[in-house]
């Protein structure tokens, strides 16, 4: 029962996609927004400019954006990819294309080509041409500034 909100959200998403299907099969539809909740709190928001159902639980999303939030609702990570596949049954997002991820406070940015995001495990894997930039704090209390 702890996955009931996710299941209900997945059903609502699939029902919302139903209008985009034709006798020849699923077609693309504009707009996509799917909040992911845990314990009644939104922990991530997946959005895109266009979506196309590939099956009952799998959706291809164009101009994908991901936002994650701390348990207090504060923005944590922001990411984007030109296209990806969202699997509602496994709660994973994958793409063979480029991706960019930024920590909301600007402490780091990641980019690469090909990724897998596992929302349940809160794990991101970048597979190719990975580039990371970390910005160290200049505060005097930093461990690096101590003698």
Element (H, E) at 20: none
Instruction: Say how many C-beta atoms besides its own lie within 10 A of residue 124's C-beta.
Output: 19
Cβ distance 71 to 90 under 8 Å? no
Domain boundaries, the chain: 4-21+33-135
Cβ distance 113 to 97 under 8 Å? yes
pLDDT at 22: 38
pLDDT at 28: 62
Q: What is the pTM of this model?
A: 0.69
Q: Chunked in runs of 10, what are the mean pLDDT values of the chain (147 residues)?
A: 43 41 54 84 89 92 91 88 92 93 88 90 90 76 50
Whole-angstrom Cα distance, residue 83 to residue 125?
Answer: 16
pLDDT at 21: 39
- CA–CA distances in Å: residue 98 to residues 1, 4, 21, 38: 36, 33, 28, 28
User: CATH topology for 4-21+33-135?
Assistant: lipopolysaccharide transport protein A fold (2.60.450)
pLDDT at 32: 84
């Amino acid at each position: 029962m702890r996955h009931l909100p996710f299941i209900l959200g997945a059903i609502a998403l699939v029902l919302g996609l139903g209008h985009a299907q034709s006798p020849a099969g699923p077609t693309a539809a504009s707009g996509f927004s799917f909040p992911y909740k845990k314990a009644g709190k939104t922990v991530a928001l997946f959005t895109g400019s266009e979506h196309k159902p590939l099956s009952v639980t799998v959706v291809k999303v164009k101009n994908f954006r991901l936002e994650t939030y701390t348990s207090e609702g504060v923005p944590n990570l922001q990411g984007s990819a030109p296209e990806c596949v969202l699997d509602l049954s496994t709660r994973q997002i994958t793409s063979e294309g480029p991706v960019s991820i930024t920590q909301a406070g600007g402490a780091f940015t990641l980019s690469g080509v090909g990724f897998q995001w596992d929302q349940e495990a809160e794990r991101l894997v970048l597979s190719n041409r990975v580039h990371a930039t970390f910005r160290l704090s200049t505060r005097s209390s930093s461990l690096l500034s101590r003698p």
